[in-house]
Structure 1
Amino acid sequence: MSRESTFFSETLPLGLVPKARGSTSNAAGRFERLARETFIDGWDSEVEQRVAGTTTVDERPRKIITRNDSPDVPFDRSINPYRGCEHGCSYCFARPSHAYLGLSPGLDFETRLTRKLGAAEVLGRELAAKSYDVAPIALGTNTDPYQPIEARDRIMRSILEVLSAHNHPVTIVTKGTLIERDIDILRPMAAKGLVQVGVSVTTLGSRLSRQLEPRAPVPARRLKTMRALSDAGIPVRVMVAPVIPALTDHELEAILSAAASHGARAASYIMLRLPLEVASLFEDWLETHVPERAARVMNRVRELRGGKANDSNFGTRMQGEGEWAELMAKRFDIALNRTGLSRSGPRLRCDLFAVPPKVGDQLSLF
């Protein structure tokens, strides 16, 4: 694995908000002993451009499939083609993972990206192992596989090509409309019962979306992607994620209705999660963009999380707990009945999985 050695973390000068970025901070991660602070002295006019630019470094992974045993998710393995995400969602629960790289969960997370070169080749080797037991692989569980750099790097597409060649079941989660590029791969996989796609929608408001998710496609465009996927026979789930109390929660029913009218078959929702550094980053975002609602949002978050900004306990971390959480669950159930959406998509097939023969292999007589 190779990386540049020029990364550093720093706090931003007061009043300097980078354009089209979700974080207003680049504070050092929790493992760093030192932090750097910049300030405006009237001489340096290049600070904003230097901080807000996007760079990528390369990683050549030895393994690409990540295993988990969480009871809160319906999969035990996943693949993430990229570390960090240029979509820059202010609330992203994956931001703290950048601290393991010695980078800031703030601006570094959305500007200092890592791409996993050779991911498809590594995946092919893992699937060919005699010990491999087939089950759906989840793509995009940490960072979005269809973030903007995928248009250039095509790592996600190369992974799909391997999965398709193996008839391997896969689920995909994305906000990115670039997934439409890969319909030529996904359509035949869907016809075999091998794929489901979840499209994340937080709000239907384009202005709020641009503030929350500055480099993600606007909600109306995501709905069109749902329609394109559905028309191609690809099962689509709308994921109302996250539900932000006192800010976007009132949109739950409208989002489900809009998704159903654009071909979605299933739906789910996840309550706002603020693990580790995300809590302070999101509070900064609230004070910057909706200061009049900041206290109300965080009070409701703490009500849902037992008085804390975050609850990491299995069983409650996804929906929260208490009266307000119960009310949201009831609203969701009623909205499902009204729209005809289901909680789960079609069951994916695992019986078609087969390692394609290599040149020189002896083929079966049957």
Structure 2
Amino acid sequence: MRADLRRGRGAGLNPSSRFEPLQTIGFDDGWNDPDEILPPLKTEVQVEWARKIITRNESPDISFDRSINPYRGCEHGCIYCFARPTHSYMGFSPGVDFETRLFVKPNAAELLERELGAPSYQPKVIAMGTNTDPYQPIEREYKITRQVLEVLAKTSHPVMIVTKSALVTRDIDILAPMAKQGLAKVALSVTTLDRRLARAMEPRASTPQKRLEAIQQLNEAGIPAGVMVAPVIPMVTDMEIERILDAAFAMGAREAGYVLLRLPLEVSELFRDWLLRLFPDRYRHVMSLIRSMRGGKDYDAEWGKRMRGSGPYAWQIGRRFEIASKRLGINKSKTKLRTDLFLKPTAGGVQLSLF
């Protein structure tokens, strides 16, 4: 795909969904006919009337068992996003389609109130930002994330947010009172401090400096805001681990985590194409290191290994993160969110008790 047509987008390919019976492959016929040039890509938004909004998981290597995703697809366009393959379920490509053909769930808040009001519901922390970013650019217009937070605030339900967007500071008016009760915490994902690299790797996310400033604003408002060094990409961003932690600590972050680059399914092809375009001289070295941490493959989805990898290089990354965190006093203690304040809703279609 021509660079001028995908300006501001992460993926350079748009492979067909793996579930489609027919596969389309683009090629250059050599004519370069100006009448056949496609227009620049525009973001398209479709409405999805969801039937459920709380997603459950039983993964033993993550700290939550339920999450909410107000959107499908993500305009941030992060080339490494492990959620890209989910777009195939909608019949779209995990490539350019994932960041240009988005789905919004306008009934998310209504569904949430109904599900929280179910007689069998037991409160536990709800995570947001675990698949697609709840504060991607279209949130400015649709405000689905804000509506969800309003329901969680009204019911005193705990929430944990992960985002790459400084837009999260817009909702300080909701999050600060929740945090005061021990009901909210936020983590800003900072992959690199290099503006140019961030622009190429995650083109429509907030700049690294804006994310750091968001950490500061949230902490100053009394909202525990930490940093996620995620993903760590060998020979591309791994040399910045200590600098990112230093910068986040200076902005008030006292909690941090990291995740090794994950390349499930189609993400591998998309990332390798991006790597060849941006860092052709490093391609072999980067992929060699990735495979050394993934049992010789591009990705190993085994629980307990998928987030951290295995082997000497993965071990080194983990020790560097731990040493830097200990030096700064990060992760000495972690904010534990409360569940004992939960107030079951009685509106929004919730069936009331007969007696």
Q: TM-score, normalised by structure 2?
A: 0.94
Aligned counterparts, 1:3-22, within 5 A: 12=1, 18-22=6-10
SS at match of 1:34: coil
Aligned counterparts, 1:254-265, within 5 A: 254-265=243-254
- Separation in structure 1 between the aligned mates of residue 134 and residue 169 of structure 2, nearest angstrom: 13
| Amino acid across the alignment from 1:274 | L
The answer for the alignment partner of 2:16 in structure 1 is: 28
The answer for the alignment partner of 1:87 in structure 2 is: 76
Aligned counterpart for 1:77 among listed residues 66, 73, 79: 66
Aligned counterpart for 1:44 among listed residues 30, 35, 39: 35
Aligned counterpart for 1:247 among listed residues 233, 236, 242: 236
SS at match of 2:176: helix
Pair 132,32 (structure 1): closer, same or farther in 2 beyond 3 Å:
same
Pair 184,312 (structure 1): closer, same or farther in 2 beyond 3 Å:
same
**Does 2:261 align with 1:272?**
yes
**Which segment is superposed worse, 74-83 or 326-335?**
326-335
Aligned counterpart for 2:337 among listed residues 345, 348, 360: 348
Aligned counterparts, 1:41-120, within 5 A: 41-44=32-35, 46-49=37-40, 52-120=41-109
SS at match of 2:276: helix
SS at match of 1:269: strand
Aligned counterpart for 1:319 among listed residues 305, 308, 319: 308
Q: How many residues align?
A: 346
SS at match of 2:82: coil
SS at match of 1:225: helix
Q: How far off is 1:45 after superposition?
A: 5.5
The answer for the alignment partner of 2:200 in structure 1 is: 211
SS at match of 1:349: coil
The answer for the alignment partner of 2:177 in structure 1 is: 188
Aligned 8 A contact 1:81 1:119 in 2: yes
Q: Which runs of 5+ in 1 are unaligned?
A: 1-11, 362-366
Q: How far off is 1:17 after superposition?
A: 5.6
Q: How far off is 1:72 after superposition?
A: 1.3
SS at match of 1:47: coil
- Separation in structure 2 between the aligned mates of residue 44 and residue 123 of structure 1, nearest angstrom: 48
Q: How far off is 1:329 after superposition?
A: 1.3
The answer for the alignment partner of 2:299 in structure 1 is: 310
Percentage of matched positions with identical amino acids: 53
Q: How far off is 1:188 after superposition?
A: 0.0
SS at match of 2:226: strand
SS at match of 1:36: coil
Aligned counterpart for 1:231 among listed residues 205, 220, 244: 220
The root-mean-square deviation of aligned C-alpha atoms, in Å, is 1.6
- Separation in structure 2 between the aligned mates of residue 249 and residue 80 of structure 1, nearest angstrom: 29
Q: Which runs of 5+ in 2 are unaligned?
A: 351-355
- Separation in structure 2 between the aligned mates of residue 267 and residue 44 of structure 1, nearest angstrom: 51
Q: How far off is 1:179 after superposition?
A: 0.7
- Separation in structure 2 between the aligned mates of residue 244 and residue 339 of structure 1, nearest angstrom: 23
Aligned 8 A contact 2:117 2:346 in 1: no
The answer for the alignment partner of 2:353 in structure 1 is: none
Q: Deviations over 1:100-145 (max 9, x none)?
A: 1110000000000000111000000000011001000001100000
Aligned 8 A contact 1:235 1:345 in 2: no
Pair 290,344 (structure 1): closer, same or farther in 2 beyond 3 Å:
farther
- Separation in structure 2 between the aligned mates of residue 279 and residue 48 of structure 1, nearest angstrom: 27
- Separation in structure 1 between the aligned mates of residue 347 and residue 107 of structure 2, nearest angstrom: 18
Q: Deviations over 1:252-280 (max 9, x none)?
A: 00000100000111000000000000001
Aligned 8 A contact 1:197 1:236 in 2: yes
Q: How far off is 1:330 after superposition?
A: 1.1
- Separation in structure 2 between the aligned mates of residue 251 and residue 293 of structure 1, nearest angstrom: 17
Pair 343,90 (structure 1): closer, same or farther in 2 beyond 3 Å:
farther
Pair 303,57 (structure 1): closer, same or farther in 2 beyond 3 Å:
same
The answer for the alignment partner of 2:325 in structure 1 is: 336
- Separation in structure 1 between the aligned mates of residue 334 and residue 163 of structure 2, nearest angstrom: 16
Aligned 8 A contact 1:29 1:99 in 2: yes
Pair 62,358 (structure 1): closer, same or farther in 2 beyond 3 Å:
closer
Q: TM-score, normalised by structure 1?
A: 0.92
